[in-house]
Homo-oligomer: A and B are copies of this chain.
Amino acid sequence: MSSAPPPIIVLVRPQLGQNIGKAARAMLNFGLTEMRIVAPRDGWPNPDAGPAASGADLVLERAQLYDTVAEALADCSQVFASTVRKRDIVTPVVGPEEMAQAIHGQPGRSAILFGPERSGLATEDVVLASHIVTVPINPEFGSLNLAQAVILLAYEWSRQATLVQPTRFEVEPRAPQAELDGLIEHLDGYLAQVNYFNPPERIHATRNTIRTIFTKPGWSSRELKAVRGIIRAIAQPRIRSNSSNS
């Protein structure tokens, strides 16, 4: 058994309470109990969730509600976005097995993001993730619903939890997402000052690219701090000299 904490299941803008209940049931079947719900369409609690949970009320009672995906991920070191690959995003794509291995090898908290029933995760949600996780389904008939996607990934996590594995915990844990957000905001502030986001219509895509690039390393808290120090060292003197010029 790995001693890494189980993943948190994050439902992003779920539509039907029934599907939230089914997801809770799917989780509890494989021993997952932490659900976070971001901006559910019909509010929370939702009276349709309980009956669909078939007894997994524990999961629903403990579910935490968030306004934004970023807040729901603030304490997570490793985030998997459950989606098919997106054309415009270079986030690495892994299968369920690689995801489960990575979760079992990560001493920090891991989260798995699931999008709304109809549309799935938006690009803005996916860029917050370190990896995309895609269940390899029949290419001619891909149609997993929310609870099915949850149960398959929960199963894979559970399957690997029971495999005996040499733990290689010498790796420093990835920093919580909030620290990465700090670095990116910091960088973004400097870049805005030097007019990096130009032309303005590209700003959104450019920000996504930057986020993807700096999410990829999986830096620890110590490393993130060092990178912030480096960025500050390079940028600060300019700012000092600029302000003395003005």
Say which residue of B26, B136, B210, B237 sits within 8 Å of A194 (CB atoms).
B237
Query: CB within 8 Å of B: which residues of A?
Result: 25-26, 28-31, 54-56, 85, 90, 92-93, 95-98, 135-138, 141-145, 147-148, 151-152, 155, 158-159, 162, 167-172, 187, 190-191, 194, 196, 209-210, 213, 216-220, 223, 226-227, 230-231, 233-239, 241-242, 245
Say which residue of B159, B171, B227 sits within 8 Å of A97 (CB atoms).
B159
Which of chain B's residues has its CB closest to A206's CB? B226
The answer to whether B141 and A55 have CB atoms under 8 Å apart is yes
Say which residue of B29, B98, B136 sits within 8 Å of A138 (CB atoms).
B29
Residues of chain B contacted by A191 (CB below 8 angstroms) = 230, 233-234
Which of chain B's residues has its CB closest to A95's CB? B167
The answer to whether B213 and A216 have CB atoms under 8 Å apart is no
Question: Bound complex: CA of A230 vs CA of B171, how far in Å?
Answer: 28
Residues of chain B contacted by A210 (CB below 8 angstroms) = 226, 230
Which of chain B's residues has its CB closest to A165's CB? B136
Residues of chain B contacted by A151 (CB below 8 angstroms) = 148, 151-152
Question: Bound complex: CA of A131 vs CA of B227, how far in Å?
Answer: 20
Besides A29-B143, A237-B242, 15 other A-B contacts (C-beta < 8 A): A54-B145, A56-B143, A90-B172, A92-B169, A93-B168, A93-B170, A93-B171, A136-B159, A151-B151, A194-B233, A194-B237, A216-B223, A235-B238, A238-B242, A241-B241
Q: How far is the CB of A198 from chain B (nearest CB, A)?
A: 10
The answer to whether A29 and B93 have CB atoms under 8 Å apart is no
Say which residue of B85, B167, B194, B241 sits within 8 Å of A245 (CB atoms).
B241
Question: Bound complex: CA of A135 vs CA of B26, how far in Å?
Answer: 13
The answer to whether B141 and A187 have CB atoms under 8 Å apart is no
Which of chain B's residues has its CB closest to A59's CB? B141
16 contacts between A and B (CB under 8 A): A25-B143, A28-B143, A29-B137, A29-B141, A93-B170, A187-B230, A187-B234, A191-B230, A191-B233, A194-B233, A194-B236, A213-B223, A234-B238, A235-B238, A238-B239, A241-B241
